[in-house]
Amino acid sequence: MTVDTGLLQPPPHSGEIKVAFPREHVMLLTFNRPKSLNAMTPTMRDDIHRLLEWFDDEPSLWVVVVTGEGRIFCAGADLIAWNKRQADGPRDEGQDVIEDVNGFGAISRRSSSSKPIIAAVNGGAYGGGVELILNCDLVIASENATFALPEVKRGVAAIQGAIPRLARIAGHQLASEMLLLGKNITATDAATRFGFVNKVVPASEVVSTAVAWAAEICTNSPDSVQSTKRAMLLTNQHGNVENVVGAHMRSKESVRLYLSKNIQEGLRAFTEKRKPVWTNPAKL
């Protein structure tokens, strides 16, 4: 079921990305290079960047789900294109990475957005595909999904945020197992051992489950959700709890929350013993 998008007009994008609105307040982005296992191209990356910038600025959209067309979520970088770039002569790859503040696929190091991102992983994710997933807020994976960070087998490194994120989530030893061996792990291991998958479901239910979770998030105050996510992002930037609390309370999301109609509605609905009716947050 796709809702009436009304006045929603996404920015122009190529056929390498599909955009849909399966529920009210929910955007679905689908990587659409199935014959190439959704390996990331510069065009895809630019499309995702433009669409997420628009999503962040659109008050009526509260959650985004990201998935891949075909049998693989994302096979990582287009290594054939990368090899061609290397053949063109030396380049400062490190500086390129530092300047690309949003990371792989415009998601793996994205910290500007306080709106939730859910990954719906069909089939598997490799390299940059895993880096991208590790920066999503929730991850739903198919039972047959596999994950790998095989960069060491290709003579490169997982430089787009995966190393520190995986070490924080799984711990040093388990992170080393993925990063230094470069071997595949199952969806079950990703959920129960490594801790970066929230739920494993049959392949036919991956996207529908992710969309259902997005819809459930939308039953909560969007102001509260976005303020809460900002606090989690700040936790990755500050080592001290009090520093996080201070930065969180000074954040644009928290200032908006405590001045919002939604905080009034939530408290009023509780006292009146009814469900709250949330409204779109004010633009930040």
Active site residues: 131, 151
Closest CA to 10 of 61, 44, 62: 61
Q: How many residues does the chain have?
A: 284
What residues contact 190, with CB distance under 8 A and at least 6 apart? 139, 141, 145, 147, 196, 197
Task: State which H helix or E strand residue 104 sits in.
Answer: none
Q: How far apart (Å, rounded) are the C-alpha atoms in residues 283 and 222? A: 12
Report residue 99 as tokens.
């300047």
In this structure, are residues 258 and 249 in contact, taking their beta carbons and an 8 Å threshold?
no
C-beta neighbour count of 223 within 10 angstroms: 25
